[in-house]
């Protein structure tokens, strides 16, 4: 990739995000082989899973992730898989997995998950999966500085609480990940979240950004799903 072209961020529906940088391509939360866009050829060097698949498909094929609960799309079987907390370096890309939860009771209701911070093209992007709580000071310190935050909309956290979470991270760009973009409740949550963030929910195909092009103030972004047929 051309050095000055910038990192390309694409959303494939739900919490599936692809980051394409100079050194590597990182795919977060891809779908199983026989469902969704990632069974049709998305590729990446590094794959992160924030949590095991809630709806494992009995006919799905492919290699299992290390937690044994998620099947990789066939196009990603050669990728380096991360699905747990820790610090990793793959293809000169630094990735930090921070233990988080899908509820406000340390996972007792909806389970544990991992938020991944990816350092790519000089920028720190955090993928929050389906996080269901605000962060402690300790977690904020573990996460470190954030330039871009990918946040779930329409999940456990209300738009107001989600805005509080964003304020804790203080990113320059917030990428909304609607968990069910066709549901009326999710569309309402998106409108409320963008109102909280002082932005307009106008979807764009993808986001291409360089470190010098980061906005001065936190800016919310809505992307079109590449997962639609």
Percent of the chain with pLDDT over 90: 74
Q: Is position 2 within any domain?
A: no
Q: Where are the beta strands (DSSP E) in 128-190?
A: 148-153, 173-178
Place of tokens 């992160």: 48
pLDDT of 127 higher than 50: yes
Q: Which two tokens stand for residue 171?
A: 């990113």
pTM: 0.91
Q: Is the pLDDT of residue 35 over 90?
A: no
Q: Give CA–CA dist 87/9, Å, rounded.
A: 22
Q: How many domains are contained in the chain?
A: 1
Quick check: is 112 in a domain? yes
User: Residue 167's domain spans which residues?
Assistant: 7-223
Contacts of 169 (CB under 8 A, 6+ apart): 126, 135, 140, 143, 146, 149
Where residue 116 sits, what CATH number does that domain have? 3.60.15.10
Does 229 map to a domain? no
The residue written with tokens 């979470």 in the block is 165
What would the pLDDT profile of 146-203 be if each residue is shown by its tens digit?
A: 999 999 999 999 999 999 999 999 999 999 999 998 999 999 999 999 999 998 889 9
């Amino acid at each position: 990739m051309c050095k000055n072209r910038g990192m390309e961020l694409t959303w494939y529906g739900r919490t599936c995000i692809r980051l394409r940088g100079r050194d590597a391509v990182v795919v977060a939360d891809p779908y199983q082989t026989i469902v969704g866009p990632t069974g049709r050829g998305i590729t990446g060097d590094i794959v992160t899973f924030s949590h095991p698949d809630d709806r494992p498909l009995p006919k799905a094929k492919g290699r299992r992730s290390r937690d044994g609960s998620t099947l990789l799309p066939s196009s990603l079987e050669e990728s380096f898989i991360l699905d747990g907390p820790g610090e990793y370096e793959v293809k000169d890309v630094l990735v930090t997995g921070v233990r988080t939860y899908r509820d406000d009771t340390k996972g007792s209701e909806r389970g544990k998950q991992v938020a991944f911070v990816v350092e790519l093209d000089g920028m720190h992007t955090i993928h929050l999966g389906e996080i269901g709580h605000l962060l402690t000071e300790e977690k904020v310190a573990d996460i470190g500085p954030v330039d871009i935050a990918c946040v779930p909309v329409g999940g456990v956290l209300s738009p107001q609480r989600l805005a509080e979470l964003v304020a804790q991270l203080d990113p320059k760009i917030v990428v909304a990940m609607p968990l069910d973009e066709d549901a009326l409740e999710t569309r309402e949550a998106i409108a409320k979240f963008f109102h909280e963030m002082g932005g307009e929910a106008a979807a764009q195909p993808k986001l291409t950004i360089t470190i010098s092009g980061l906005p001065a103030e936190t800016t919310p972004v809505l992307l079109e799903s590449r997962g639609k047929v």
